[in-house]
Amino acid sequence: MTEEIIEPDLAIVDPHHHLWDLRALVPAFPEPRHDFIEAIAGAAYYTFDQLHADTHSGHNVIATVFMECGAFYDPARGEAMKPVGEVEFVNGVAAQGASGLYGDYRPCAGIVGHADLTLGDAVKPVVEALIAAGNGRFKGIRHAGAWDADPEVLGPPFHAPQGLYGSGDFRAGFAAYSEYGLTFDAWLLEPQLGDVVDLARAFPEQQIVLDHCGTPLNIASYRGKLGENFSRWQESIHDLAECPNVAVKLGGLAMAFCGMPEDGPERGCSSEELAEQWDPYITHCIEAFGPERAMFESNYPVDRWGASYAVLWNAFKRLANGASEAEKRALFAGTAARIYDIEHVLPAA
């Protein structure tokens, strides 16, 4: 679907996208294939050229933040150190953008990588190697904690151990990591949101970013239960918002996990339809956290399940229609740039 771009001059920092090559991996997933695997099978590789095409599809995307996705690991470094390869790869993409060949656009101006925090204090040399590989662009890590008792919710590749964020080994690694003053992205599922609340309260000085509005579920045994579980999600978001060290990413709702829409990849929903579906979640997050702790995200190419890049950002702009100009600057660029320490990409006020 193509639409006229809303507010085409509004500066956007997209704080959450991936770059990957899963062509060899996707066919290996077992049958029957999970909805999410079917979705990414259509985006088995997502390269700099594809990112460039999406970010230049009409909206004024001035910079992006790369989010870890297990791509281009270097097994020659050993198990603990292999995620350094991903940061090295993405730093090369960032260098392409910084060359000026693509104008003022700065892809991967910030890089969020991965380190296994269950290593405890032994995670420190990994973090230091990631910092070195990022050449000033490395801003933090994500260690996903998504788990559910229903194995059909996530599918085999995505399960973290149950209760990861509360485990002793993870907390030891988190304490060691917190010494570096970097960000921590948390991805887990709506029923688990209390785990992030507990983590944020235990480490009040550590900046935590909750991904994907907390991932409300409309898949497998949760299908059709968004309304039934909304008040539980709402209460968890309220509790998280009371933690000043937590920010939230507004997006991810077009993933197969969330099922908004339910109908599968690129169904052709208009931005009006998407805004209507997402409004209860996005609006509550903004009201709870405020624009200074909330940021719109594309989560591309995963959210290709529900919308093209241009339509996705049109939906966000519809949802922010009643915001002031200062609030829009925060929601679409300023908050992300501040939290990920890339404010140099922002246009002069």
The confidence band for 155, taking pLDDT boundaries of 50, 70 and 90, is confident
Does residue 219 sit within a domain? yes
Q: What confidence tens digit (pLDDT) does each residue in 192-226 have? A: 999 999 999 999 999 999 999 999 999 999 999 99
- What is the 3-class SS of the chain, one letter each residue? CCCCCCCCCCEEEEEEECCEECCCCHHHCCCCCCHHHHHHHCCCEECHHHHHHHHCCCCEEEEEEEECCCCCCCHHHCCCCCCHHHHHHHHHHHHHHHCCCCCCCEEEEEEEECCCHHHHHHHHHHHHHHHHHHCCCEEEEECCCCCCCCHHHHCHHHCCCCCHHHCHHHHHHHHHHHHHCCEEEECCCHHHHHHHHHHHHHCCCCCEEECHHHCCCCCHHHCCCHHHHHHHHHHHHHHHHCCCCEEEEECCCCCCCCCCCCCCCCCCCCHHHHHHHHHHHHHHHHHHHCHHHEEECCCECHHHHCCCHHHHHHHHHHHCCCCCHHHHHHHHHHHHHHHCCCHHHCCCC
Q: What confidence tens digit (pLDDT) does each residue in 328-337 have? A: 999 999 999 9
User: What is the Cα–Cα distance from 58 to 48, expressed in whole angstroms?
Assistant: 17
Does residue 94 sit within a domain? yes
Give, in degrees to the nearest 5, the angle at Cα 157 between 226 and 313.
50
Say yes or no to pLDDT of 15 above 70: yes
Contact 126, 169 (CB under 8 A): no
Say yes or no to pLDDT of 232 above 60: yes
pLDDT of residue 2: 82
Does residue 82 sit within a domain? yes
pLDDT of residue 39: 59
Contact 185, 172 (CB under 8 A): no
**Distance set, CA 182 to CA 20, 140, 167, 179, 268 (Å):** 24, 5, 21, 8, 38
Does residue 169 sit within a domain? yes
pLDDT of residue 305: 83
pLDDT of residue 256: 87
Of the given ranges (4-8, 53-57, 231-235, 262-266), which has the lowest mean pLDDT?
262-266
Q: What confidence tens digit (pLDDT) does each residue in 87-130 have? A: 999 999 999 999 999 999 999 999 999 999 999 999 999 999 99
Say yes or no to pLDDT of 269 above 60: yes
Does residue 46 sit within a domain? yes
User: What is the Cα–Cα distance from 200 to 168, expressed in whole angstroms?
Assistant: 15
Q: What confidence tens digit (pLDDT) does each residue in 288-336 have? A: 999 999 999 999 999 988 889 999 999 999 999 999 999 999 999 999 9
Query: The domain containing residue 58 runs over which residues?
Result: 11-345
Contact 261, 277 (CB under 8 A): yes
Contacts of 327 (CB under 8 A, 6+ apart): 291, 320
CATH number at residue 177: 3.20.20.140
pLDDT of residue 156: 65
How high is the mean pLDDT of the chain? 93
Does residue 111 sit within a domain? yes
pLDDT of residue 159: 76
Does residue 220 sit within a domain? yes
Question: Residue 205 corresponds to which tokens in the numbers above?
Answer: 């000085």
Tally of domains in the chain: 1
Does residue 123 sit within a domain? yes
Say yes or no to pLDDT of 157 above 70: no
User: What is the Cα–Cα distance from 27 to 91, expressed in whole angstroms?
Assistant: 28
Rounded (10°) angle between helices 271-289 and 309-319: 50
Say yes or no to pLDDT of 31 above 60: no
Give, in degrees to the nearest 5, the angle at Cα 267 between 298 and 9.
40
